[in-house]
Amino acid sequence: MKNEKISEIVEKLKQEMRRGIIRVAVMSQLQQSQYGYALLKHLNDMGFDISQDTLYPLLRRLEEQQLLESAWRVDDPRPRRYYQLNPVGLEVFETLKAEWEAMEKVIRRIINEIE
């Protein structure tokens, strides 16, 4: 198979793999109140690549699912919308975090077994 074809497949699978875990990454940072661009920069600085066209729609979806509270804050130099997990969101995050840790352990075990 051609190299381009392989990297195309890898890229697709990578995106699929990340799709679910992005939520956990974003929610983890919203235990404290945070505005969109700061959140984006922080995640990228931590090594988690996320683009704006992923982050903002995701924030909207989390809000629609009533896991987030958000409000415009006008005491900043410019009005900015701040987001924070509400109690339900926190509970969901804790559950997802535990789920991720369990999954990570299992996958690691399976991969190492084959090696």
DSSP 72-114: EE-SSSS-EEEEEE-HHHHHHHHHHHHHHHHHHHHHHHHHHHH
Q: Can residue 105 be called a binding residue for another protein (CB under 8 A)?
A: no
Distance CA 19, CA 22 (A): 6
Residues 2-31 that bind another protein (CB under 8 A): none
Query: What is the x/- site pattern for another protein, positions 72-101, by CB under 8 A?
Result: ------xxxx--------------------
Biggest distance spanned by C-alpha atoms of the chain: 57
Please choose, out of 12-20, 53-61, 86-94, 106-114, the segment that lies near another protein by the rule CB under 8 A.
53-61
* Element spanning 68, H or E: strand 68-73
> Number of residues in contact with another protein, rule: CB under 8 A?
15
**Site for another protein, rule CB under 8 A:** 35-38, 40, 52-54, 56-57, 60, 78-81
